[in-house]
Structure 1
Amino acid sequence: MAYKNGVLKKFIVPIVVVFFLLVGFFNSIVNLIVNIQWYEEVKYLAIYFTKLKSLAIVTIPLFFVFFILIFLYYKSIRKSFNKSRSAVDTGSNKRNKLVFLVDAVISFFLSISIGNGFWYEILQFVNSTNFNDTDPIFNKDISFYIFKLPLLKGIYQVLLTTLILLIIATVIFYIAVTAYDRLNKTVNNNVINLNKSNIKIISMEIAQFAGKQLASLAALVLLVTSYGYVLKGYEIVYSSAGVVYGASYTDVTITLNFFRAIAIVSFVAAIVVFMSILRKKIKPIAVSVIAIFVLTAIQPLVSTATESIIVKSNQRNLEKKYIGYNIDYTRKAFDINDIKYEEYDVNRNLTAEDINNNRGIIDNIKINSYKPALEFYNQVQSMKYYYDYNDIDIDRYTVDGKFTQVFLGTRELNPASLTQGTNTWEGKHLLYTHGYGVAMSKVNSITESGKPNFIIKDIPMENKSGIKIENPRIYFGEADSNYVIVNTKSGEVDYPEGGENKLNKYDGNGGIKLSFAKKLLYAAYFGSEKILLSNEITADSKIMFNRTITDRINKIAPFLTYDRDPYMVISEGKLYWIIDGYTTSNRYPMSQPYNNINYIRNSVKVVIDAYNGDTNFYISDEKDPLIQTYKKIYPTLFKDLNTLSKDIISHFKYPEDIFDLQSEVLGKYHVTDPDVFFDGSDLWQVSKDDTDVSNNANEAKNTDYQTLKLPKSNKSEMVVINYFNIRNKNNMSSMLVGRMDGENYGDLVAYRFPSNESIYSPALFQKQFKQDAVISKELSLLNTQGSNVNYGDTVIVPMENSLLYIMPLYIRATGENSIPEVKKIVLSNGEKTVMGDNMEVALGLLFGDIKNTEKTDGTEGKNDSNTGNLTLAKQAKDIYNKMIEAQKSGDWSAYGNYQKQLGEIIEQINK
């Protein structure tokens, strides 16, 4: 019986332990299995195992190192304790088991914590790629600061923390034992007083009890402190104490030398303290500690005094070299050092002939603004209540054989819009699983009523663009984060048709097939027993999750920073998402941080199949050392850009996030002369619209994608463009253009405007036309009778050494669900400003007889209206009516202006 009990006890205990471990780590085990399956499905299992392998490589050796060191330290303390008590360590199996258990637990948590905190820094350290450029202070390659210094600092922090904790643990152990002894003596009426004599006795007892251990630990603390100040010296390249970010005169001549002195004194003090504790001498320890304390305390005082007394009185000369470093390294870090600068001598001599000769540009001028267009898409082109447009993007396609800029919106499922009858588990996860199709409209034209001119629209899809779309279904997008199960018995809803739902069964390669075991797994993972119990799910059904494209890419490659605006591309009949990936750092030496970033490259293009979810990462900047390091760490993650379809590449855009950041940096760092930089006499700021389409002041930024023919170029191309004002002025100083077509992709060109002329900025243009007597009067009339005027985006088009300013005016009826419509176009050459019912009318008013070479039909918009005398006759009629209204209201100033315009048009008709 005793034998059976022993056997049962032998097996029951491990079983119980395993059971409780499984219960305690159940969620972690489920997450691990689900992650393995998901990474395998997306073909990036090696990426997931890179982390697991790295953690194992780091934590397992660390565990044994900590276990052995803690055990040896314990044995050393135990031996000293017994020796101080003249006791014999008889040993105890229970005590030894307890010690091993505690040691193992502490070692486990320490190794896991350090492994989780530093596995990635270790990989970066081991796989670092040289920048082949050095910092100006220590002459070290930039890679040292970005890939190596973070790990070295981490090691310093771990060592210092560990040593201090060991010292505290040793002293606490001594105090606990001593307190126990003293308590016994107190009970025997021998009260101990903390007088000088007893303090000396206690210090001697501590030295006797753990002298060697404390001596070693104290010496090691000082050695680590010395090491820490060596590292701290390197960090002056991130100093913000000077006139610019990075090392300053005071940092290099005073602060750095103090850090070096403290490092040397700490190293010497380590030896002194070690010997003094062993010899039971307090004075040398005190002197060493005081020396370090004094140096540490006076360093900021001396640095501040130097800055105030010496530097401030001669700051320009003393800081000039360091300002130059800051300029140079900031420009390199933000990739604005190779910008091509050209002079743009603005004149106001645009003629009708110039307009006719640049029809490719005129016909692609954006007269639809983003916000009202998105609003119209959502109100008119959602088609079904459960579909929505999260965004619309601007791109270029060949439409009717012509290079055409368009808005492209993706019709995605919005689960929040499901009504009571469909807002069920089956509705959200089995039936309403995907978006359907896209809508496309030309940015350069509107309908006769002022609405976007669609060339792809509706459900079922009506496609007049000539762009092939084979499968319009969108299972992976920006909005829907629900998991869905596809290939069920009933199928999934596309859209209602004839009183019934048109259904689809998914036939792509995305998703994970659901066997019975996997149904159990995912029921536990998502906390829904319906996955297990639903009769709709078959052995061929698949579960899809992590479908939001930003979640998807962040789970695969979280070390990259991603652009906030993914965009849809139609290519070879399929729908793809493109997301720009950035390598970023805040560790680039001497570079001014912006939003906690002081280095950035657009080194990755991510392409995601909207139907299958296939996610591919392509390297777009092979010269970037950060992406080369990531490529070494994850050799199977990145693909060569040459393997990507040329058609998809042709839709790549210069991403707006990095362009905006570079524009912000350029506002200050276009200056390369340290003296001019110090004076701050040539500062730019990005031009802002005075109002956006919702009339919210200063919200709209002017960054825009436009079709232009750049100076010295012989063809039109799509570019991203920003305009700059002189700081705190409304005069425009320059424009920055980011090119993105063909071999010019990624090139930046800055055009400087004459400094002695007043060039309208967007805000100045808006103020000017609002003050125009004729336009102001019309605006007042438009703002009455139950309607409001909203101002669209200001578009500024460089053409023939001139600037053409365009703004669409939207009329919105008062009341709910009203849609803004383009009713007027304001046009200016920077000198004269006019307002017409459409682009052709406005061009005619500004330049005279304009020839429209486009063929027109009933489907084309107002930018493609009748031409020649018909256009002029319509203009004459409109102006005549306005002249009569001005006469009736007694506004003789406006009457005279209209009369003059009418005379000019009649002269053109008579030519």
Structure 2
Amino acid sequence: MSQGSRTSLGFIIVAALILVALIGWGAGLYIDWLWFSALQYQQVFMTSLVSSLGLRALVGILMFILLLLNLMFTRKSVLQAVEASKSFRPMFQDDNVITINYPPFRADWREQITPGRLTAVFTGLSLLLGFLYSSTVSSEWTTVLQYFKQTAFGTTDPIFNKDIGFYIFSLPFYELLYRLVASAIFLNIVLVALVYLLTDSARGGLTKIFRFPAARYHLSALAALFFILKSWGYRLDQFRLLLSSSGVVHGAGYTDIHASLLAYKVLCILSLITALIIIGNIFLRRFRLTAYAIVGLLVVSVLLGGIYPSIVQKFIVLPNEFNREAPYIANNIKLSQQAYNLDTIEQKDFPAGRTLQAKDIQENRNTIENIRLWDWQPLQQTYSQLQEMRLYYELKNIDVDRYKINGEQRQVMLAVREMNQSQLPQQAQTWINQRLLYTHGYGVAMSPVNEVTGEGLPNFFLKDIPPTPTTDVKVTRPEVYYGESDDGYVIVNTKTKEFDHPQGDGNAYTQYESTSGVKINSFFRKLLFAVTLADYKLFLTNDITNDSQVLMYRNIKERIPKIAPFLSYDSDPYPVITTKGEIFWMWDAYTISDMYPYSEPFDKRGNNYIRNSVKITVNAYDGSVQFYIADSKDPIIQTYSKIFPSMFKPLTEMPADLKEHIRYPEDLFQVQATMYTLYHMTDPQVFYNREDKWVLPTEKYGDEEKPMEPYFTITVLPGEQEPEFVQIMPFNPQNKKNMIAWLAARSDGDNYGKMVVYEFPKQELVYGPMQIEARIDQDTTISQQLSLWDQRGSSVIRGNLLVIPIKDSLIYVEPLYLQSQQSKMPELRRVIVAAGDKIVMEPTLDLALQRIFGEGAVPSKQPPPGVSVQENQPGKPTEPVPQATVRELAAEAGRLYDDAQTKLKAGDWAGYGQSLDQLKQVLTKLQEQS
């Protein structure tokens, strides 16, 4: 094959690859358009697409023009160099005879360079580099749109007195412009210098590019532009000082303001002077002066930008650090509190040392009945064993919420039963089964947080397939097409009926009743879907009809960010059952920024501003997505509302039965609680010395000490009248284990989003979580019982320790689970309660409260199913007796008797006596119950 043929073949292959890539890109773009249209978010799609492509096109075109202009300026020099080089022939000497190496059979390459061909090469090179350069801004379209649609914060920074919006919206845009222009000029300088070097080489090996006027004028002009731009860069760096992390706190400190800021101002002027010197030397031809100016600028930048600030820091700041940094610490405290909404937290005193009475427990039964005894980790295993029903179902996550159950506000735990196709038998994982047949999950499992059966298992409010309710919460649309599963796309309304749910010895089947998917109603669309989804079987199957729909992006953690990639999201979406019986997903979204001046970052990426600005709902059946503005005061979400005017709805438009289930987001609360450990201190002196620093507590979970996580509960906050759904986090003082305060975030009604911190008197001791854990370990009765359980083929799982506020005091509750070695189904078997100096362990929470506060702590009530009632005795009210408790006590008595006999035979008289004492206690309880 000739050289020309190989070249032509190469061009054909490259062109074919480009064509295939363009077809794939176009197909994906069209499918995305159809998908956004099905969700009624065409405007969002078009705004994002036009902005992204428009920005790339603008940058690419400008870069193309800039490159082409600069290359065309070198065109005359290149042609002159080629002409000059034609008279030069490479020669070499052989036996004292000089010969010219110019073979007559080979054409001189210089003859191939013509003005037209050179222009074509420059144009092609400029196009290629412009296209590649434009790809660097593909994700920057939000920065540009935020700049043009920005909203003022109404708060100014303390140094330059600029609105905070300048740092959030304008400064990132200016820095983007600076990076683009500076890199473009630098690239042009390198490219032009390379061309002049090559042309000088063609003249005969010369390498002094400033020898020729054209090169001198051209490169000097580009260099002058670069230093003019550099002056603007130093100006922008001044504002960046307010995000500095080099001082005692985040933000500009004494050294930044009195040394670094001065350096940037001086360098800003020197860069302009350097540019003027370069321009002047175009005519004066004193290029050493240009070199001196550039070197001088570099020396000054090192002296003023590096050495001088170090001297100021070491000799002026450090000897008297607090007095120098005090005003800047105050700036950091004030703006950090603003960035995290900590300045809105209400501070209240919480008395310590108050003793609860039995009547206090009775008067707060709503709080007691909503204390969470089930932790999500053991409950996840128990749910899996009891409610997954079939191997292809999966209850992925356990979530906490509150519902009106038979007229009462109850805290519940619930999980959606989703399809997990990977758990189908290997032979059943066919294309038909995965794409057409097993398309959705089915139903919800729900149980109260505090109820347990006699076997130590959750008492379900919703269970089984079809969902069977034991309360007034019902599910009428149990099919789950959208959730947290990763099963990929499915096709509905095909000739193959969809599996709905198991039914007796067979299965029930169904047809999808919504029109929310993307229809495959033509051969063209079928082909495009096959290309986009990289699935040729979709194109070949005969099961698809004109009514068939593709349901894509069914995992909500992929679905929602595809619509709104500019938001950040909470780690835990949770399901909601509406009054109509539909299943929705609710997900919290945040607006964040790393540009809030003086604010301390909360993550490794430097983000230092956060708002829970958006609540998102997704219908689990049809996948419809709605965005509701939860914080209308946030300027960032106001800006996005201007960019996407039809996307966001006010929270008042959320349906009431969904609005009842909004809750304060967990990730935001964790961030705020962490930041509040420092930023509850408002005095700069106290803050500098960390005199009153708090820390987040730890607890013992299982056998490990772990950081305590925020938890939800229903309680009556001090000073309030009605129980409400709140999230709580206790605090410890630094280097100590006692409790110093606790933070509550409210979630109900008009109080949503309000936060209150309750502080204990500093002179009083209030037990912290780890101190309670230590008391549990030191209690001989409890520790012996735990050791015995661990030795009898079971493992003890210590659950989360909850600190529950009741009136002006606290109680501590920790559940205990038993899990046999043969089963992965933990059972709730004991509840440990601590109040004041008392700590007890009983089979139920009510029994534990009775032991601490007396019989009057638990009121009489009608027994639930499965509970027997004592005969009436004169003068004594009738009380329900849990049959399960009697069985447990009887079994415990039998075990202790066996244990005592074993120790007797072994001659362990001390152990024998302990077992008899424990047996006596159990028999006494059994007698009381019977």
TM-score normalised to structure 2 length: 0.89
Amino acid at match of 1:890: A
Give 2:5's aligned residue.
Answer: none
- Find the aligned partners of 2:18 and 2:781 in 1 and give their Cα distance: 81
Counterpart contact for 1:453–1:860, Cα < 8 Å = no
Give 1:675's aligned residue.
Answer: 685
Cα deviation for residue 422 of structure 1 reads: 1.8
2:197 to 135, 156, 175: 175
Counterpart contact for 1:787–1:814, Cα < 8 Å = yes
Deviation track 1:304-338 (CA, whole Å, cap 9, x = no partner) reads: 12111211110011001111111111111011111
Verify: 1:447 aligned to 2:470, yes or no. Answer: no
Q: How does 1:188-267 map to 2 (within 5 A)?
A: 202=208, 204-206=210-212, 208-267=213-272
1:365 to 342, 363, 371: 371
Cα deviation for residue 157 of structure 1 reads: 1.6
Give 1:137's aligned residue.
Answer: 159
Cα deviation for residue 869 of structure 1 reads: 8.8
1:688 to 662, 678, 698: 698
- Find the aligned partners of 1:295 and 1:255 in 2 and give their Cα distance: 12
- Find the aligned partners of 1:836 and 1:369 in 2 and give their Cα distance: 18
Verify: 1:127 aligned to 2:134, yes or no. Answer: no
Amino acid at match of 1:442: P
- Find the aligned partners of 1:446 and 1:136 in 2 and give their Cα distance: 57
- Find the aligned partners of 1:583 and 1:671 in 2 and give their Cα distance: 26
Cα deviation for residue 466 of structure 1 reads: 0.8
Higher alpha-carbon deviation: 629-638 or 845-854 = 845-854
Q: How does 1:744-763 map to 2 (within 5 A)?
A: 744-763=751-770
2:35 to 15, 30, 38: 38
Counterpart contact for 1:769–1:775, Cα < 8 Å = yes
- Find the aligned partners of 1:264 and 1:674 in 2 and give their Cα distance: 36
2:66 to 69, 77, 87: 69
Give 2:668's aligned residue.
Answer: 658
SS, match of residue 98 in structure 1: helix
Change (3 A) 1:205 1:776: same
Amino acid at match of 2:123: F
Cα deviation for residue 699 of structure 1 reads: 3.5
Cα deviation for residue 742 of structure 1 reads: 0.7
- Find the aligned partners of 2:444 and 2:179 in 1 and give their Cα distance: 53
Verify: 1:165 aligned to 2:170, yes or no. Answer: no
Deviation track 1:848-904 (CA, whole Å, cap 9, x = no partner) reads: 113334422235899xxx974958996998998899878976359968987998999
Counterpart contact for 2:71–2:192, Cα < 8 Å = no
Cα deviation for residue 520 of structure 1 reads: 1.4
- Find the aligned partners of 1:578 and 1:799 in 2 and give their Cα distance: 30
Give 1:517's aligned residue.
Answer: 524
- Find the aligned partners of 2:496 and 2:210 in 1 and give their Cα distance: 84
Q: How does 1:827-842 map to 2 (within 5 A)?
A: 827-842=833-848
Cα deviation for residue 94 of structure 1 reads: 3.4
Q: How does 1:524-673 map to 2 (within 5 A)?
A: 524-571=531-578, 572-595=580-603, 596=605, 597-673=607-683
Higher alpha-carbon deviation: 452-461 or 81-90 = 81-90
Amino acid at match of 2:121: L
Cα deviation for residue 386 of structure 1 reads: 0.3
Change (3 A) 1:877 1:843: farther
- Find the aligned partners of 2:13 and 2:819 in 1 and give their Cα distance: 72
Q: How does 1:22-33 map to 2 (within 5 A)?
A: 22-33=19-30
SS, match of residue 349 in structure 1: coil
Deviation track 1:20-69 (CA, whole Å, cap 9, x = no partner) reads: 75334221121111111111111112111112222344344444434443
Deviation track 1:653-679 (CA, whole Å, cap 9, x = no partner) reads: 101010011111011111111100111
- Find the aligned partners of 2:680 and 2:693 in 1 and give their Cα distance: 8
- Find the aligned partners of 1:896 and 1:304 in 2 and give their Cα distance: 75
- Find the aligned partners of 2:262 and 2:117 in 1 and give their Cα distance: 55
Amino acid at match of 2:748: D
1:103 to 102, 117, 126: 126
Deviation track 1:574-612 (CA, whole Å, cap 9, x = no partner) reads: 110000000011111100001132000000000000000
Change (3 A) 1:836 1:274: same
Deviation track 1:535-586 (CA, whole Å, cap 9, x = no partner) reads: 3222211111100001000100000001110000001221100000000111
- Find the aligned partners of 1:486 and 1:593 in 2 and give their Cα distance: 46
SS, match of residue 601 in structure 1: strand
Give 2:96's aligned residue.
Answer: none
Counterpart contact for 1:384–1:495, Cα < 8 Å = no
Verify: 1:776 aligned to 2:783, yes or no. Answer: yes
Change (3 A) 1:632 1:231: same
Cα deviation for residue 827 of structure 1 reads: 0.9
Q: How does 1:502-513 map to 2 (within 5 A)?
A: 502-513=508-519
Higher alpha-carbon deviation: 866-875 or 769-778 = 866-875
Give 1:276's aligned residue.
Answer: 281
Change (3 A) 1:618 1:117: closer
Verify: 1:477 aligned to 2:474, yes or no. Answer: no
Give 2:399's aligned residue.
Answer: 393
Structure 2: tracts of 5 or more residues without a match: 1-10, 86-110, 870-876
Deviation track 1:370-395 (CA, whole Å, cap 9, x = no partner) reads: 11111111111001110011101111
- Find the aligned partners of 1:292 and 1:245 in 2 and give their Cα distance: 29
Q: How does 1:348-363 map to 2 (within 5 A)?
A: 348-363=354-369
- Find the aligned partners of 2:868 and 2:539 in 1 and give their Cα distance: 54
Counterpart contact for 1:431–1:493, Cα < 8 Å = yes
Counterpart contact for 2:393–2:417, Cα < 8 Å = yes
Amino acid at match of 2:369: D
Cα deviation for residue 134 of structure 1 reads: 1.0
SS, match of residue 409 in structure 1: strand
Deviation track 1:273-312 (CA, whole Å, cap 9, x = no partner) reads: 1111332102321331122111111121111121112111
- Find the aligned partners of 2:736 and 2:13 in 1 and give their Cα distance: 76
SS, match of residue 145 in structure 2: helix
- Find the aligned partners of 2:922 and 2:620 in 1 and give their Cα distance: 55
2:328 to 322, 330, 334: 322
Amino acid at match of 2:789: L
Give 1:189's aligned residue.
Answer: none
Q: How does 1:429-440 map to 2 (within 5 A)?
A: 429-440=435-446
Cα deviation for residue 17 of structure 1 reads: 10
- Find the aligned partners of 1:829 and 1:388 in 2 and give their Cα distance: 39
Deviation track 1:155-174 (CA, whole Å, cap 9, x = no partner) reads: 11222222222222222112
Q: How does 1:397-416 map to 2 (within 5 A)?
A: 397-416=403-422
- Find the aligned partners of 1:783 and 1:902 in 2 and give their Cα distance: 19
User: Aligned residues: percent identity?
Assistant: 34
SS, match of residue 421 in structure 1: helix
SS, match of residue 69 in structure 1: helix
Amino acid at match of 2:161: N
Deviation track 1:165-204 (CA, whole Å, cap 9, x = no partner) reads: 2222222112111212225xxxxxxxx8xxxxxx8xx365
Deviation track 1:686-741 (CA, whole Å, cap 9, x = no partner) reads: 1121224xx3x134633111011111111111111111111221111111000001
- Find the aligned partners of 1:242 and 1:19 in 2 and give their Cα distance: 57
SS, match of residue 395 in structure 1: strand
SS, match of residue 453 in structure 1: coil
Amino acid at match of 1:36: W
Amino acid at match of 1:281: R
Amino acid at match of 2:155: D
- Find the aligned partners of 1:781 and 1:41 in 2 and give their Cα distance: 61
Counterpart contact for 1:118–1:151, Cα < 8 Å = no
